[in-house]
């Protein structure tokens, strides 16, 4: 499972490629702990938080969730990011079923 429910939202991990050719969700990979990690790329450079902001904008737009509900919890300067979406975890898990894990035109790796 890609998402871990908490009392007030969902936690998940993203492996981000900054300075990519396009902003895209690129599929998932297995984590060493047995879960899934979302792969994403953004065109923004990894400086001054620009790539992190671009990632949150990509997720917000792709999943139709307000940007204000996302919080970067770990990995501010790393490619492996921990994120949190605040909200009702049961409702978010229900929504997650329809969330694209891959952007249109992207290939799963």
Give tens-digit pLDDT for 36-71. 999 999 999 999 999 999 999 999 999 989 999 999
Note the pLDDT of residue 107.
47
CA 72/CA 11 separation, integer angstroms: 10
Where in the chain are the domains?
4-96
Q: DSSP code of 23?
A: -
The pLDDT mean for the chain works out to 90
Pick the CATH number of 4-96 from 3.40.50.720, 3.30.1200.10, 3.40.430.10, 3.30.1330.60: 3.30.1200.10
Residue 101's pLDDT band (boundaries 50, 70, 90)?
low
Note the pLDDT of residue 56.
98
pLDDT at 97 over 80: no
| Residue 34 CA: distances (Å) to CA of 11, 30, 97, 101 | 15, 6, 20, 18
Note the pLDDT of residue 43.
98
- Whether the full predicted model's pTM is greater than 0.95, yes or no, is no
């Amino acid at each position: 499972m890609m998402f871990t429910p908490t009392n007030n939202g969902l936690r998940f991990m993203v492996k981000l490629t900054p300075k990519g050719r396009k902003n895209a969700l690129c599929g998932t990979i297995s984590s060493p702990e047995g879960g899934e990690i979302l792969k994403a790329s953004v065109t923004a450079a990894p400086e001054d938080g620009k790539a992190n902001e671009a990632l949150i904008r990509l997720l917000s737009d792709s999943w139709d969730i307000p940007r204000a509900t996302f919080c970067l919890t770990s990995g501010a300067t790393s490619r492996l990011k921990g994120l949190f979406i605040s909200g009702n975890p049961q409702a978010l898990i229900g929504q997650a079923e329809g969330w694209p894990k891959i952007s249109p035109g992207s290939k799963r790796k």
